[in-house]
Chains A and B, each alone.
Chain A
Amino acid sequence: MKSILGIAVVEVRLFLRDRSNIFFVFIFPLLLILLLGSQFGANSGQARVVLSGGSGTELAKVLSEQLKEDGVQVSSAGAGAARDQLSRGRADVGIFISDDDSAAFASGQPADLEVLTASQSAAQAVLQEVRASVQAVSTERRQQSLLESAGVGATEAATALKQAKESVQQPQVVLVDTNDVTQVFQGLGRFDLGAAQQLLLFVFLSSLTGAATMIKARRLGVIARVMAGPVASWQALAGQALGRFGIAAVQGGYIMLGTALLFGVDWGNPLLAGLVLAFFCAVSAAAAMVIGSLMDNDAAASGVGVGLGLVLAGLGGSMVPPEFFSETLQAVSRVTPHRWAYDAFAYIQRHDGTLADILPQLGVLAAMALALLALGSFLLQRSLGRAL
């Protein structure tokens, strides 16, 4: 066991000592998760409205207050910036208030608000919320006008309306989005989805590119020297496999912990999330064994590792969520370990899944790991024979 651990520890140490890994293993993944989360991340289902124009006017003030009261996230921006936010999906609905609108509202006249919606499916639902809020403002304004025209003072009318509002149970509009995709991502924070995707992408990628150290060790004659010592061939193989697993675990653990601390990513049940990560690391390690044994050139192996890692990540839903895939692509994606791990994380993160829920995914990942490990061990033994 000491030999196995010794070999594994050196493999991980070499991986950590490689300066090029500082950026690609520790900085780049978090940057990517931050970028993807801020640009495309879901916002826990909260409606986002951007108000443009009417700054300081009564209309803008009451509308903003009503929207906030209705649970809508409100921001202000200039017209151009508001349109930009809508086009980039950072806001669901934009309300553009002109000077005429403000003046009409102030004088109790009807105001025609310009409203724009973003292209995402959730925007239509948010538009309904905005309509309800505008309706509430409009009703209150009309009631105020009627009371005032009936001879009630402005302050008394406002107080009376406030008391009336507090004394009755406000009808609440609950919007149920029937869009499948929206429902699938329900419960995810801004960075949650991207973190899971990038975790899988980088764990696999780092493992495959880490196979280069194995080739280098073989080429330098270090593995032959190890086997000339009192180390059985199975121990040398196990040490290499454990080393690859260690590399994957370092990468995965770092992303998991880093995103939880920095971006508040909710990984769900930590034990189950850790279990999924461990199984996925095992598949990644075994795949790295295969690459490291098949190839004799460490630079070429790094290139193949990056290429293969990206293709499998793309197919497995680590770039575009697989929920958007066609049926055919959905089927193809299940060939990749990424997809099974993605599904397992989806259960844990979005639906508070239990061990029983993710057992099928863990089973498939375990089978993949075993098959690849057997193949990798066979190939490594053969490549060692060649090297000796």
Chain B
Amino acid sequence: MQRAQVLGVKGLVKRYGDHTVVDDVSFHIGAGETYGLLGPNGAGKTTIISMVSGLIPADTGSIEVAGSAMTPASTRLKSHIGLVPQELAIYPDLTAKENLQFFGRLQGLSGRDLKARTGEVLDLIGLADRAGEQTKKFSGGMKRRLNIGIGLLHRPALLILDEPTVGVDPQSRNSILESVEALATEGMAVLYTTHYMEEAERLCDRIAIIDEGRIQAEGTRGELVELTGGVDRIDLHGSGNTGAAASALRRLPGVKHVDGGASGLTLTVHNGPGLLAPVVAEAGGAGMALSSVEIVRPDLESVFLHLTGKALRD
């Protein structure tokens, strides 16, 4: 089913002096879709978000939000966007409710609508019972949830979340991810940046892998994994005649590559689970005493490594 396009980005470029921070970036997001920008710190994710939100101008390229061109001067168009910045952009001396009401007013909400919406969002982010407390007394997770709540307040067509789970405990992180999943099912377009592979895999319908300002690859998780050739890795740990085992395994159909030394072997194979039994039998038959066996299926980390030659955490 074709989704209505909420955000379209074409040929976006941003330079600071001689340094190109964002280089020819294009993507689009439809209603109800969660689109992830996955890349390490400094890859250009936040700069892309700042341009999409109309905070800074692009040097070249175009941004369309809800069918209209977005620039820093597009004041009214900004009401279609809910930005959840990476930093906790809330007033610590105001209560959760006051923070929501302040940003709600700026978004044009007032009177009963503002009151009702503030209550709804407080319920949604699980802070209804702490609404009257100054946010400086909140835990990191609670502040993060409020940070997201402010972005949702005016029911934006496009919600932009910039690394929303940085510095959050596992429980709060899970709660945040569940909220984002729920929003997408309600028809909101979500642009989600992260350097956590698991988050991108869990939440995003499509993912762009970004490094040094460029989109290296884009697609669904399956499509991206295919880029690595769809191979699995089998790690064999043990002792004995590993040399003979390596020779025997290289002859086994489906095994692409065998590498290793005295303490174990690493095999690159097609369909790891299906090949596990013959691999174990072959290695044992060749005189290798196995202590453990592990199948490692390709993930976005592997894709990133495959595409850029470096680990995502770098």
User: Quick one: which of A7, A14, A217, A228 contacts B53, CB cutoff 8 A?
Assistant: A228
Chain B interface residue count, Cβ-Cβ cutoff 8 angstroms: 32
CB distance from A147 to the nearest CB of B (A): 82
Does A10 touch B at the CB level, under 8 Å? Answer: yes
Closest partner residue, chain B, to A388 (CB atom): B55
Chain A interface residue count, Cβ-Cβ cutoff 8 angstroms: 24
Does B83 touch A at the CB level, under 8 Å? Answer: yes
Residues in chain A near residue B150, CB distance under 8 A: 225
Closest partner residue, chain A, to B49 (CB atom): A228
Does A229 touch B at the CB level, under 8 Å? Answer: yes
* In the complex, chain A residues 223-250 whose Cβ is within 8 Å of any chain B Cβ: 224-233
Q: Is the CB of A230 within 8 A of B94?
A: no
Q: Is the CB of A10 within 8 A of B94?
A: yes
User: Quick one: which of A221, A228, A388 contacts B81, CB cutoff 8 A?
Assistant: A228
Does A329 touch B at the CB level, under 8 Å? Answer: no
Q: Is the CB of B110 within 8 A of A228?
A: no
Does A13 touch B at the CB level, under 8 Å? Answer: yes
Residues in chain B near residue A7, CB distance under 8 A: 106
Q: Is the CB of B102 within 8 A of A231?
A: no
Q: Which of A2, A7, A222, A228 has the most chain B CB atoms closer than 10 A to its own CB?
A: A228
User: Quick one: which of B54, B76, B89 contacts A225, CB cutoff 8 A?
Assistant: B89
Residues in chain A near residue B105, CB distance under 8 A: 2-3, 6
Cα–Cα distance between A264 and B79 once the two chains are bound (Å): 52
Does B303 touch A at the CB level, under 8 Å? Answer: no
Does A220 touch B at the CB level, under 8 Å? Answer: yes
* In the complex, chain A residues 2-24 whose Cβ is within 8 Å of any chain B Cβ: 2-3, 6-7, 10, 13-14, 17-18
User: Quick one: which of B55, B75, B91, B106 contacts A224, CB cutoff 8 A?
Assistant: B55
User: Quick one: which of B54, B55, B81, B94 contacts A14, CB cutoff 8 A?
Assistant: B94
User: Quick one: which of B55, B76, B87, B110 contacts A227, CB cutoff 8 A?
Assistant: B55
Residues in chain A near residue B217, CB distance under 8 A: none
State whether A388 and B56 are in contact (beta carbons under 8 Å apart), knowing that A6-B106, A228-B78, A232-B75 are contacts in the complex. yes
Does B107 touch A at the CB level, under 8 Å? Answer: yes
Q: Is the CB of A228 within 8 A of B55?
A: yes
Does B50 touch A at the CB level, under 8 Å? Answer: yes
Does B113 touch A at the CB level, under 8 Å? Answer: no
Q: Is the CB of A228 within 8 A of B83?
A: yes
Cα–Cα distance between A369 and B43 once the two chains are bound (Å): 44
Q: Is the CB of B93 within 8 A of A229?
A: no
Closest partner residue, chain B, to A213 (CB atom): B93
Q: Is the CB of B85 within 8 A of A221?
A: yes
Residues in chain B near residue A6, CB distance under 8 A: 102, 105-106
CB distance from B23 to the nearest CB of A (A): 20
Residues in chain A near residue B55, CB distance under 8 A: 224, 227-228, 388
Q: Is the CB of A225 within 8 A of B93?
A: no
CB distance from B52 to the nearest CB of A (A): 10
Residues in chain A near residue B307, CB distance under 8 A: none
Does B96 touch A at the CB level, under 8 Å? Answer: no
Q: Is the CB of B106 within 8 A of A230?
A: yes
Cα–Cα distance between A213 and B264 once the two chains are bound (Å): 61
Residues in chain B near residue A233, CB distance under 8 A: 72
* In the complex, chain B residues 91-133 whose Cβ is within 8 Å of any chain A Cβ: 91-94, 98, 102-103, 105-108, 110
Cα–Cα distance between A2 and B111 once the two chains are bound (Å): 13
Cα–Cα distance between A14 and B91 once the two chains are bound (Å): 9
Does B279 touch A at the CB level, under 8 Å? Answer: no
Does B90 touch A at the CB level, under 8 Å? Answer: yes
Q: Is the CB of A226 within 8 A of B106?
A: yes
Q: Which of A13, A18, A222, A388 has the most chain B CB atoms closer than 10 A to its own CB?
A: A222
Chain B 38-58 interface 0/1 with A at a Cβ cutoff of 8 Å (1 = within): 000000000000100111100
Cα–Cα distance between A78 and B43 once the two chains are bound (Å): 84
Q: Is the CB of B91 within 8 A of A220?
A: yes
Does B295 touch A at the CB level, under 8 Å? Answer: no
CB distance from B39 to the nearest CB of A (A): 20
Q: For the A-B complex with A17-B93, A225-B89, A388-B50 known, give 14 more contacts whose Cβ atoms are closer than 8 Å.
A: A2-B110, A10-B94, A13-B94, A14-B94, A220-B89, A221-B85, A222-B91, A225-B103, A226-B106, A229-B79, A230-B78, A230-B106, A230-B107, A388-B55
* 26 A-B contact pairs sorted by A residue (CB < 8 Å): A2-B105, A3-B106, A6-B105, A6-B106, A13-B98, A14-B91, A14-B94, A17-B93, A18-B93, A220-B89, A220-B90, A220-B91, A221-B85, A221-B87, A221-B88, A222-B90, A225-B89, A228-B54, A228-B78, A228-B83, A228-B85, A229-B79, A229-B106, A231-B75, A231-B78, A233-B72
